[in-house]
C-alpha cells in the first residue's frame, strides 16, 4: 500500500474512530445513558487533527525535514506522517479496545437473552427436553380442556364425567372442537330414557359423538393431537436452529406467536460465543489481542461444568463468567484510553514546560533590562550630583552646597528610566506575564489530569478527566511545539532588542547634546546648568 493509499484509508478509519468514541464510550459506564458532560470533540484527544497529533511529540513529521520542498507531495503525505503515527500507534489501540468492549457488551445481551428469554425466564434452547415438552403439553392440554368446558356440547354438559375422564388422560389432537360436539340440542338423559323419541333423538343414539365412551376417546385424541402438533413445532424450531427455541409470546387466544425465529437466536448466539475466538484468530497487531476471558468464552462454554447456562451463574463469591468478560473488556478500554491520555499529557507537559521555561526566561530578561536601566540611571544621577555639588547632599532636605556658590535641593529620583520602561518594556512585560500565568495554569491542570487519570479506579472519574483533557485540547488551551518555536523566536528577538535598548538608551543619556535627552551628559555645561537651576533653592 502506498503512502497516499494509507493516508486515504486512515482518514476513513479516523472517521469511524470518532463515531465509535461518541457512540460506544458511554456503554462502558455500566450502560449509563450518554450525558452532555461526557461528549468528546473532533478536535480533542480522540480526533486526529494536527494539533492533537503533535501533543504526544510523535516521531512522525509535521514539517519538511530536509531536501527540496515539494508542495504537493510534502503537504499531502510526508508532512502528515505525524498524524498517521498518532492514528496508528495511539488511536488505533483505543478503537480496538472500544470494539472489544462493545462486542463483549453486545455478547452479554445476546447470551443473557439466550439463557433467560424463554418462557418464565427460561432458556431459549432445549435444556431439559422431557420436562420442557411435558410443560408445553400441559399448557396446550389445559387450553383445550378450557375450550371444551366453555363450548355448547350437550354431552359434556349432561355427563360431566366425560370431560373429567378426558382431562385425566388428556393432551393433544388435530380435530377441530366443532367436529367433536354432539349435534343433539336437548338433554341426552331424555334420549337414553326414551322420553324423547324424535328423529333427532334417534339420530343422537346412532351418532358416536353422542356416546360417552366414544366422546371421551374423540376428545382425548383431539387434545393429544393439538399438544403433539405444538411439541412438533418446537422440536422443528430446535432442529432447524441447532438447538435453540424461537423468541415467542402467548396471545390472548392462548396461541404461541413467534417474535424472533429460532434461526436468528441460534445464529446470533453462535456469533457471540465465537466472537472472542475469531478476534484472536484475526489479530495482526498487539492492540488487537482481546482479554483472556473474552478469548476463552467458547472454551468456557464447551468445557465448563454448567456449559452455556453456567456463564450466567456466579462463581462462588465472584461474578459470573459473562460479567467478568464484560468487566475485563471495560477495564481494557479504560486502560487504553487512560494510557493514550497519559501519552498526550506527557507530551503536552513536556511542551508546556518548554514553553513555560521560555516565557519565564523572557520575563527574567525584561526584569533584568529594567534593572540595568535603573542602575544606569542611578549611576548617571550620582555623576551629576558629584558635578553640581561641592560635597555630598545631607539631611534634612537632601541639600548640598552648589559648585560656584549657593545651596541645591537635590531630587531623589528621576523619571528618565521609567519613561523608557513604560514605552518600550511594559507592553512586552504585560503580555509575558499573561503567558507565564497561562502556562502555569496549564501545567497545574495537566498535573491534576494526570493525577485524576492515574490515582483513581472510578471509571466516571477517569472519564471526566479525559473529557476535561479533550476540552483543553479542542479549545487550544495547551501550548504545542509550534508555540514553543514561536516563543523561542520571540525570545531571541526580545533579547536582541533589550540589549540594543540598554546600549542606545545609556548612550543617548550620556552623549546627546540636547539636555532634554542627554540629561546625563556631564561634559555638557548646559546639562549641569539645567540641574542646578532645577535644584536651586
Nearest partner of 275 among 94, 104, 116, 111, judged by Cα: 104
What confidence tens digit (pLDDT) does each residue in 130-172 have?
A: 566 667 777 787 788 788 878 878 777 777 777 766 765 553 3
What distance in Å separates the CA atoms of residue 25 and residue 481, rounded to the nearest whole number? 30
For the chain, 537 residues long, give each residue's pLDDT as a single digit of tens. Answer: 444 443 344 334 333 333 333 333 333 333 333 334 445 555 555 555 555 555 555 544 444 444 555 555 555 555 566 566 666 666 665 666 666 677 777 778 877 887 788 777 777 765 555 566 667 777 787 788 788 878 878 777 777 777 766 765 553 333 456 667 788 888 888 888 888 888 888 888 878 778 888 888 878 887 887 788 778 877 777 777 777 777 777 778 777 777 777 777 777 777 777 777 666 666 656 555 566 666 667 666 656 666 666 677 787 787 877 787 777 777 776 777 677 777 777 878 888 899 999 999 999 999 999 999 999 999 999 999 999 999 999 988 899 999 988 999 999 877 889 999 999 999 999 999 999 998 998 898 888 888 877 766 666 676 777 777 777 777 777 787 778 888 999 999 999 999 999 999 999 999 999 998 999 999 999 999 999 999 987
pTM of the model: 0.54
> How many angstroms separate the Cα of 54 from the Cα of each of 193, 349, 444?
105, 12, 20
Nearest partner of 489 among 335, 362, 403, 378, judged by Cα: 362
Q: Which three cell numbers stand for residue 285?
A: 497487531
Chain centre distance of CA 43: 14
The secondary structure of residue 384, as a DSSP letter, is H
pLDDT of residue 520: 93
What distance in Å separates the CA atoms of residue 48 and residue 43, rounded to the nearest whole number? 7
Identify whether the C-beta of residue 304 lies closer than 8 Å to the C-beta of residue 311: yes
Determine how many CB atoms are found less than 10 A away from the CB of residue 290. Answer: 27
Identify whether the C-beta of residue 218 lies closer than 8 Å to the C-beta of residue 175: yes
What distance in Å separates the CA atoms of residue 323 and residue 312, rounded to the nearest whole number? 8
Amino acid at each position: 500500500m502506498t503512502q497516499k493509499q494509507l493516508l486515504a484509508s486512515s482518514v476513513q478509519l479516523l472517521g469511524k474512530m470518532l463515531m465509535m468514541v461518541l457512540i460506544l464510550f458511554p456503554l462502558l459506564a455500566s450502560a449509563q445513558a450518554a450525558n452532555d458532560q461526557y461528549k468528546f470533540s473532533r478536535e480533542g484527544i480522540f480526533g486526529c487533527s494536527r494539533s492533537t497529533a503533535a501533543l504526544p511529540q510523535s516521531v512522525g513529521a509535521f514539517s519538511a525535514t530536509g531536501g527540496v520542498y515539494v508542495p504537493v507531495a510534502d503537504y499531502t503525505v510526508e508532512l502528515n506522517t505525524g498524524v498517521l503515527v498518532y492514528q496508528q500507534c495511539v488511536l488505533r489501540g483505543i478503537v480496538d479496545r472500544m470494539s472489544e468492549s462493545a462486542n463483549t457488551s453486545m455478547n452479554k445481551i445476546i447470551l443473557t437473552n439466550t439463557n433467560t428469554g424463554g418462557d418464565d425466564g427460561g432458556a431459549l434452547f432445549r435444556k431439559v427436553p422431557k420436562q420442557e415438552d411435558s410443560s408445553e403439553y400441559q399448557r396446550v392440554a389445559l387450553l383445550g380442556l378450557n375450550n371444551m368446558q366453555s363450548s355448547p356440547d350437550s354431552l359434556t354438559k349432561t355427563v360431566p364425567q366425560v370431560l373429567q375422564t378426558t382431562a385425566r388422560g388428556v393432551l393433544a389432537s388435530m380435530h377441530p372442537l366443532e367436529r367433536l360436539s354432539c349435534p343433539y340440542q336437548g338433554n341426552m338423559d331424555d334420549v337414553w330414557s326414551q322420553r324423547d323419541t324424535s328423529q333427532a333423538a334417534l339420530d343422537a343414539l346412532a351418532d358416536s359423538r353422542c356416546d360417552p365412551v366414544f366422546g371421551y376417546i374423540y376428545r382425548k385424541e383431539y387434545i393429544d393431537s393439538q399438544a403433539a402438533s405444538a411439541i412438533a413445532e418446537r422440536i422443528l424450531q430446535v432442529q432447524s436452529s441447532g438447538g435453540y427455541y424461537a423468541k415467542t409470546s402467548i396471545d390472548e387466544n392462548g396461541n404461541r406467536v413467534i417474535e424472533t425465529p429460532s434461526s436468528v437466536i441460534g445464529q446470533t448466539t453462535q456469533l457471540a460465543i465465537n466472537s472472542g475466538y475469531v478476534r484472536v484468530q484475526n489479530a495482526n497487531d498487539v492492540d488487537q489481542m482481546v482479554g483472556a476471558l473474552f478469548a476463552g468464552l467458547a472454551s468456557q462454554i464447551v468445557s465448563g461444568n454448567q456449559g452455556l447456562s453456567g456463564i450466567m451463574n456466579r462463581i462462588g463469591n465472584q461474578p459470573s463468567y459473562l460479567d467478568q468478560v464484560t468487566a475485563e473488556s471495560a477495564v481494557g478500554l479504560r486502560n487504553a484510553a487512560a494510557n493514550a491520555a497519559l501519552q498526550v499529557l506527557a507530551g503536552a507537559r513536556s511542551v508546556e514546560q518548554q514553553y513555560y521555561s521560555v516565557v519565564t526566561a523572557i520575563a527574567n530578561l525584561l526584569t533584568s533590562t529594567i534593572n540595568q536601566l535603573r542602575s544606569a540611571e542611578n549611576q548617571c544621577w550620582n555623576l551629576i550630583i558629584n558635578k553640581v555639588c561641592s560635597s555630598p547632599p545631607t539631611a534634612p532636605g537632601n541639600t548640598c552646597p552648589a559648585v560656584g556658590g549657593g545651596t541645591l535641593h537635590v531630587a531623589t529620583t528621576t523619571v528618565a528610566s521609567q519613561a523608557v520602561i513604560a514605552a518600550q518594556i511594559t507592553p512586552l512585560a504585560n503580555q509575558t506575564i499573561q503567558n507565564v500565568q497561562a502556562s502555569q495554569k496549564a501545567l497545574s491542570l495537566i498535573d491534576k489530569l494526570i493525577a485524576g487519570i492515574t490515582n483513581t479506579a472510578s471509571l466516571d472519574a477517569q472519564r471526566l478527566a479525559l473529557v476535561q483533557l479533550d476540552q483543553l485540547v479542542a479549545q487550544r488551551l495547551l501550548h504545542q511545539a509550534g508555540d514553543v518555536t514561536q516563543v523561542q523566536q520571540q525570545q531571541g528577538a526580545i533579547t536582541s532588542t533589550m540589549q540594543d535598548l540598554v546600549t542606545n538608551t545609556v548612550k543617548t543619556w550620556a552623549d546627546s547634546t540636547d539636555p532634554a535627552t542627554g540629561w546625563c551628559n556631564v561634559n555638557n555645561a548646559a546639562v549641569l546648568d539645567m540641574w542646578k537651576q532645577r535644584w536651586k533653592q
